[in-house]
Structure 1
Amino acid sequence: MTSQSTVESTAAKLRRSTHVRLAWMLAALAVVAVLMILSTMIGSRNVGLDDVLAAYGGSAAGFDQAAVAKRIPRTLLVVCVGAALGISGAVMQGVTRNPLADPGILGVNTGASLAVVIGIAFFGLSTADGYIWFAIVGATLTAVFVYAVGSLGRQGATPLKLALAGAATAAALSSFISAVVLPRGDIADLARDWQIGGVGGVTFDSVTLILPFLIVGLLISVYSAPGLNALALGDELAAGLGQHVGTTRMVSAAGAVLLCGAATAVAGPIGFVGLVIPHACRLLIGIDHRWLIPFSAVTGAALLTASDILGRIIARPAELDVGILTALIGAPFFIAIVRRQKVRSL
């Protein structure tokens, strides 16, 4: 009876009006469009809408239009990174059935960071195209390690054990990062600036670098969505419905790690986006991953773009890196989730 009631409860949550979901999706896309325009208008020097539209049309005749042209690749990159982190968080929470799962909390970001710092220190890496493969390998190894440690014991990979394993792993890897960077004064500034997490000074090369990984990761995640819906019922019921639980987890996790590694490589370890966005999306459109994953992409892009704009406003004429803003937004949200009584599973 308990299993049957669980199935019925989950199925009821999956059923939500398509019109409602579509309305929220269109609203989120409209918000992203507005934020992209504002992102190109706001900076150390504000520009008008006419100059923004002219710059998007390819003109850079005046100073203001040239300023907008410089901001366009930054805006596109922050949208891509926000989408990647939003999808990654949604998939990780679905794979682990852990409401605390997030690339930062599970230590995946830190693993990618350590790999990139090692690449900077010992292999002479200095550009995003060099960082990206190191970041993906570091993220993958860390994800496997955290899940293996969290799976030890009778109950397997419970949300609490995964969160603790991720926190402990992130702390240990942070120490290794310090051990690599501190003796190397020649790379300290480069490594420190990258670790804060930011999108300033980027070019279209950074956008074209992350875009293929974003597309592949999105396709893998969307393909895995029905399997993630089955996993929400529990492993035994998912297997009974014909799902290969292990394969579903591995494929889904591969998409999430690919997205997280690529985003970390081009923008640094930006935290909490993958934690906050899926929870907010579930409140609006439900838990069906076929909708949750694309909606997390759009709202993740909106959150990171808004954070980037806010960072420019707060510290004008300088700016706060976007990684600092997302931490300020995400930390209280994380505390609120931890304080909830039903934190053991989704």
Structure 2
Amino acid sequence: MAIAMKGFHPLQICVVKMNKPFISLCPEVTREHALKLMHWLEDERVTCYLSDSPHVSRSIEHAIDRTQLPILTHLFNQGGRFFMAYDRHDTPVGFVRIIKTGANCEIVLVIGDSDKWGRNLGALTIHEGMKLAFLDMRAKKLIAKIHPDNTRSLKAFLRCGFLLESETPALKSFSMTAQRYLQLLREGAVGNSPRIYVTEIDKARLESLIPLEQGQAVIELEHELERAIVVKQEHVARDVVTMNSRALLQLDDEQIEVALVYPKDADSNAGKHSVCSDIGAAILGYQEGDAISWRISDRTRRIEIRRVLYQPEAAGDFHL
């Protein structure tokens, strides 16, 4: 059963700068998520710019009634890709739908938890949506259609770099091209993470590796490579995590020692984590003292680079 989402063009948020908020997008939709969606769609503040909200709410209700399956992902992905948006506490706060038509995609997103408005979560959700549209779905252009009175949405998409493409009294259409997205990413204008550093040879090797690998971590790795500051091997700072480095990490309340390796050398039991794994993609290019939030094994973890124990470049092992 398809859940019709056509006509959803809202973004109910208030964009205010706060201390490093975090959003991750997850494709799995459970019955609990569906019930939460229905609850959000009963809030007039959320639905005031949603033309199809009553129909969508009824469709979700019918889907729940007609199936006893605990996972409803397949119902929500008919006609597009649907994602639940989680905050750093792994609490669902909204949803994203990306519909691909030809070479382009359209993004629809809602921050449904009104208690979380004003925390910049909408803009971060847009950033995550762009990552999926351009690096996973390989869209040439991402389009957002917004009601002219939805000022919060308008400001958020403009702040994320979208450009006005067309407008009517009833709708404004904004777009982001893949070329512009990559340019903004390389300039550090997308996201709120610290800048990272990758050596020329590491980047070349990893770019040749990416087409051979699959999974969400590979999308994250490509994203990190695109935004990285590229330096020569002999110029990289000694406290940067490069390929084949060993580092001491603070992972939430636990300290672990890891080695960042290529997939062929990976052995997680021995602490050797592939750069195409969640932890590996997370730590590449960061420096001692950097701390980030990252989704690992379906939950958000806080990672701090406590110390770089060994770096090939610092040791003169340029052959690694």
The TM-score by the shorter chain falls in which range? under 0.3
TM-score, normalized by length of structure 2? Answer: 0.23
TM-score, normalized by length of structure 1? Answer: 0.22
